[in-house]
């Protein structure tokens, strides 16, 4: 795995070096001895621009190294050359990092680009739609937030933690709209999922203190 990551990290430079070696070999000898470095060099260059180095981001994200992840994303100078599903993931990740930095306008712009390109899996699309809903909650645009969160639930979310988060957001929106019966129903659905993420568990405990006292 480490070797593969190193290969991805230095794929561009390795590809360029191999092309240079192939050109020198071609000049000093002939085409056929240069064919293999030509071929490998072209494959490396193609892989760099078509698939990009996004695989490297995983270890940075797992380590909580936002700066490292951002550095990998910033190393992609020509995102329009990326394979369409990879380009979608690229913009989604840029949106996620912008959200972490409280750059809501940048997050909205990049996440919309990712969604417009289409996500490779329905669950991934659902998660992106949920994030868009969370983004609009931060911007206090409840109409758009509700729309995106409902779309996320329809598309499907990857696990019960995301589903519970979606239902809790809808619960909050319904409370603000004074639709108390709907609010209680969304809370019931969130609680029934028995999420274990501490932040979601804390939210459920906080809402539970007063939701039984509201009408509906």
pLDDT digits (tens, 9 = 90+) for 146-195: 999 999 999 999 899 999 999 999 999 999 999 999 999 999 999 999 99
| Cα radius of gyration rounded to whole Å, the chain | 23
**Residue 56 maps to a domain:** no
End-to-end C-alpha distance for the chain, whole angstroms: 55
**Residue 189 maps to a domain:** no
The confidence band for 91, taking pLDDT boundaries of 50, 70 and 90, is very high
**Residue 76 maps to a domain:** no
**Residue 36 maps to a domain:** yes
**Residue 115 maps to a domain:** no
The confidence band for 55, taking pLDDT boundaries of 50, 70 and 90, is confident
Structural domains of the chain, count:
1
Is the pLDDT at 209 greater than 70? The verdict is yes
DSSP code of residue 63 = T
Number of C-beta neighbours around residue 11 at 10 A: 20
| Residue 74, H or E segment | helix 66-74
The confidence band for 36, taking pLDDT boundaries of 50, 70 and 90, is very high
**Mean pLDDT for the stretch of residues 96-125:** 87
Residue span of the structural domain in which 35 resides: 1-51
**Residue 198 maps to a domain:** no
Sign, Cα dihedral of 100, 103, 104, 110: negative
- pTM of this prediction? 0.82
**Residue 7 maps to a domain:** yes
pLDDT of amino acid 23: 96
| Residue 32, H or E segment | helix 31-50
**Residue 1 maps to a domain:** yes
Number of C-beta neighbours around residue 71 at 10 A: 13
Which residue has 């603000």 as its token pair?
Answer: 176
Alpha-carbon span 153 to 130, nearest angstrom: 8
């Amino acid at each position: 795995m480490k070797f593969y990551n190193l290969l991805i990290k230095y794929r561009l430079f390795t590809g360029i070096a191999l092309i240079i070696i192939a050109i020198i070999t071609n000049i000093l000898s002939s085409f056929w001895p240069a064919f293999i470095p030509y071929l490998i060099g072209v494959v490396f260059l193609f892989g760099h621009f078509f698939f990009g180095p996004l695989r490297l981001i995983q270890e940075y994200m797992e380590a909580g190294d936002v700066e490292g992840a951002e550095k990998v994303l910033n190393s992609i100078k020509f995102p329009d050359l990326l394979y369409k599903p990879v380009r979608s993931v690229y913009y989604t990740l840029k949106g996620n990092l912008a959200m972490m930095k409280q750059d809501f306008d940048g997050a909205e712009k990049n996440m919309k680009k990712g969604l417009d390109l289409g996500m490779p899996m329905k669950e991934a699309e659902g998660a992106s739609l949920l994030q868009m809903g969370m983004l609009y909650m931060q911007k206090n645009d409840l109409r758009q937030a509700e729309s995106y969160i409902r779309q996320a639930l329809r598309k499907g979310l990857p696990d019960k933690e995301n589903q519970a988060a979606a239902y809790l957001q809808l619960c909050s929106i319904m409370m603000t709209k004074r639709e108390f019966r709907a609010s209680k129903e969304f809370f019931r659905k969130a609680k029934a999922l028995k999420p274990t993420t501490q932040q979601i568990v804390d939210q459920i405990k906080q809402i539970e203190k007063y939701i039984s006292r509201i009408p509906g």
